[in-house]
Amino acid sequence: MRPRFSVVWRRGLTWAGAKVHMGNKQEAYDAECAALAHALELAAQRNATPERITIFSDAQAAIRRMASDEPGPGRQYALQARKHIATLRRARPGIVIEIRLCPAHKGVAGNEKADEWAKIAAGEANTRGVEWLSSSGRTEVRAAPLPRSLANLKREISEKKWVEARQWAGGRTSKTKYHMPKSQKPDCAVAGSSKRLASRFYQFKTGHCLTGQYLNWTKNRSTPQCWWCRYRTQTRDHLFKECPEWKPQQKILWAEVKKETGRWKDRWKERDLLADGRCSRAVLDFLSSTDVGRRVPADADDDAVSAVSELEMREWLEEQGAGAEESDGEGAPLFLPTPDFRASAGEG
């Protein structure tokens, strides 16, 4: 990774600006913060101070960092930005300075040109007008490397923690029931589904789900028998492949899986199916169209509904109209989109 940034502006009909390489042991976050500070520095160096300066950036985190001088990653650039703002205000007390959010990869001319020049800045020094950012905050033809940034240290610590957590989890899970995913990235299909549906998906993925086998093992049901077809053991494999109650939905599920992977159901184990991101959408559609993993009927030896988990009981109460106040809302997304953000250096 080669952190770099560019600052561009219009000069008549052409573009002018700076391409800056930051060396190694820096992060993209550092580059975004440095770009804002450098833009203010270039504005402060102009012979004639304008009445208004507006800087556009597609990095929300960097814009927020400029509004705070609290200790943490990017603080040095926030302090540099404040110094340049003070210089501009001394030169022109009534100046208006704004830092605004610009959508990325949406065809905005200035943003596209900045991305193009930033890619050029990834090259070595002394090529195509690329400058290096020094530890003093100045750009030079060839500068001493920047010290390692806090953002870079935090990323390394996080990666080591993920490796340790993965090793710990791998030693505590049954390999016959759970397939550890190769990637640490979240499954976008599951993340975009409702909270309840995602919960059911992950319950099946770990094997801690509402099946006769699991409920019998946890002593919440007297028998592992399937409550829909009376098969002797209700497992994940039985519900996804064999239970006659859900034959139409199973047919659609495995048709989609074969379309995505080229493999029919007899070549899949449930642990592998639920670990393969290509199959997530089909599995979610199957769960949403059935009661698999959602409802547990009364046990033959018990008059009450099996209250296996708080989630199951809450769902049952909500459907009866008695637990609406406890609900997070049907269809609530697992992750909410980030709202638009605008920061103004002229405020306060």
Residue 346 main-chain phi, psi, to 5 deg: -85, -5
Structure-block tokens of residue 269: 């184990």
Quick one: 140 and 237 in the same domain? no
Quick one: 298 and 198 in the same domain? yes
The verdict on residue 331 lying in a domain is no
The verdict on residue 159 lying in a domain is no
Quick one: 318 and 200 in the same domain? yes
The verdict on residue 165 lying in a domain is no
| Dist CA 17 CA 141 (whole Å) | 15
| Burial classification of residue 106, based on how many CB atoms lie within 10 Å of its CB (0-12 exposed, 13-18 middle, 19 or more buried) | exposed
The verdict on residue 162 lying in a domain is no
Quick one: 9 and 147 in the same domain? yes
Quick one: 146 and 219 in the same domain? no
Other C-beta atoms closer than 10 Å to the C-beta of 333 total: 13
Model pTM? 0.53
Domain range holding 38?
Answer: 4-151
Quick one: 140 and 198 in the same domain? no
Q: Spell out the residues 6+ positions from residue 215 whose beta carbon is closer than 8 angstroms to its own.
A: 221, 224, 296, 306, 308
**For position 124, what pLDDT does the model report?**
58
pLDDT in tens, the chain (348 residues): 577 888 888 888 888 888 887 777 888 888 899 889 989 998 888 888 888 888 898 888 999 999 888 999 889 899 999 999 999 999 989 889 888 888 887 778 888 888 887 777 776 555 555 666 655 555 554 455 677 788 888 888 888 887 888 777 666 666 667 776 676 778 888 999 999 999 999 999 888 899 999 999 999 899 999 999 999 999 999 999 999 999 999 999 999 999 999 998 888 998 889 888 899 999 999 999 999 998 787 765 444 444 445 555 555 556 555 444 444 444 444 344 444 444 444 444
The verdict on residue 340 lying in a domain is no
Instruction: Please list, residue by residue across 88-98, b when 16 or more beta carbons sit within 10 angstroms of its beta carbon and e when fewer do.
Output: bbeeeeebebe
The verdict on residue 174 lying in a domain is no
Quick one: 228 and 125 in the same domain? no
Show which of 123, 151, 179 is a domain's final residue.
151
The verdict on residue 288 lying in a domain is yes
CATH of the domain at 64: 3.30.420
| Total domains, the chain | 2
Quick one: 194 and 145 in the same domain? no
Quick one: 250 and 299 in the same domain? yes
Residue ranges of the alpha helices (H) in the chain? 28-44, 60-66, 75-91, 109-120, 150-170, 188-191, 195-206, 212-217, 236-237, 247-261, 270-275, 280-288, 310-319
Quick one: 141 and 211 in the same domain? no
